[in-house]
Amino acid sequence: MVKLVAMYKTPSDLEMFEKHYFEKHMPLVEKIPGLIRSEVSKLKVLPGTESQYFMMAEMYYDDMDAFNAAMGSPEGKASARDLVNFAKDNVDFFLGKVK
């Protein structure tokens, strides 16, 4: 299994970001073929630490072939296009193999 992790930096307009993310972006993500499940976590830093991230989204796929097919699908492309509408420079992506 593999997962795509999106780490979101705190936006200047948190209310606008969350409205767009949960009302428009996540419905697009949930239509991506091959997506097994997705999880969104709002983050808090541990005492004495700092972080530029306030939210993390994890999207799980069976394997790299399923992930690549998902990202190349019309739904995957629509999700990627939508990302620039609200998080263009405020998101970092990581790909992990789940053990």
Handedness of CA 56, 73, 87, 13 (dihedral sign): negative
Instruction: Write down the pTM of the prediction.
Output: 0.90
pLDDT tens by residue, the chain, 99 residues: 999 999 999 999 999 999 999 999 999 999 999 999 999 999 999 999 889 999 999 999 999 999 999 999 999 999 999 998 888 889 999 999 999
> What span, in angstroms and rounded, lies between the C-alpha atoms of 99 and 89?
30
Name the burial class of residue 35, with classes exposed (0-12), middle (13-18) and buried (19+) by CB atoms within 10 angstroms of its CB.
Answer: buried
Task: Report yes or no: 3 and 61 within 8 Å, Cβ to Cβ.
Answer: yes
Give bridge partners of residue 61 from the DSSP assignment.
2
> What span, in angstroms and rounded, lies between the C-alpha atoms of 20 and 51?
23
